[in-house]
Amino acid sequence: MRNKARAGRVKMVLMDVDGTLTDGTLAVLPDGEEIKTYNVRDGMGVLLAQLAGLKLGIITGKISKGLEKRAERLKITEIYQGIIDKKKVLDEILEKNRLAAEDVAYIGDDLGDLEVIRSVGFSAAVADAHPIVKKSAHYVCKKKGGSGAFREFIEYIIGAQKKWEVITSGFKKIFDRKL
């Protein structure tokens, strides 16, 4: 099946965080708290996905209070942190949302994402992902993790689903309410 066809049937997009939504850099404060930075373009990608009617979720190996706040701000309610077996969580998400694996997209960067990347209907690797992950993904982003790769992935899906008119209409409604 071609990538456009795979992307065309996506109903939910799941994502890794470290190395995917971030560039993989962690700043560690003296108290041990870790700080991550996120790209606003990826945040816009989340909004675009929501306007297109896609469900969103996060599956990440680390636990971060900052991520909880970021997800809350972006209105992502499906968030799974501290996950070693991401495939097991994928299966739970599929059951909970009554979806087939073919209806789900996933974007990641490293070996911990590999089983999910190989299981979903449409998968992507960021440009600086591990070579095995890139080889296993359906789509390899031109952008690196933390540098707009998630938005690139979402725009590919929106294009495959021919939902750009829905997006622009959604933006018009948002701006009309604010004026």
DSSP class per residue in 19-69:
TTTS-S--EE-TTS-EE----HHHHHHHHHHHHTT-EEEEE-SS--HHHHH
Predicted confidence band of residue 177 (pLDDT cuts 50, 70, 90): low
pLDDT single digits (tens) 106-149 = 999 999 999 999 999 999 999 999 999 999 999 999 999 999 99
Averaged pLDDT, 54-72: 95
Residue 22 predicted with pLDDT over 80: yes
Residues 6+ apart with CB under 8 A from 163: 52, 53
User: CATH classification of 3-178 is 3.40.50.1000, yes or no?
Assistant: yes
For the chain, give every domain's residue range.
Answer: 3-178
Residue 170 predicted with pLDDT over 80: no
- What is the C-alpha to C-alpha distance for residues 169 and 179, in angstroms, rounded to an integer? 16
In contact, 80 and 61? CB cutoff 8 Å: no
**Structure tokens belonging to residue 75:** 């209105």
- What is the C-alpha to C-alpha distance for residues 80 and 161, in angstroms, rounded to an integer? 27
C-alpha 35 chain-centroid distance: 20
- What is the C-alpha to C-alpha distance for residues 116 and 137, in angstroms, rounded to an integer? 10
Q: What percent of the chain has pLDDT over 90?
A: 86
Q: 89 vs 15, 72, 94, CA distance in Å? A: 12, 20, 9
Averaged pLDDT, 71-94: 96
Question: Could you tell me the pTM of the whole model?
Answer: 0.93
Q: 154 vs 49, 50, 55, 93, 96, CA distance in Å? A: 6, 10, 12, 19, 23
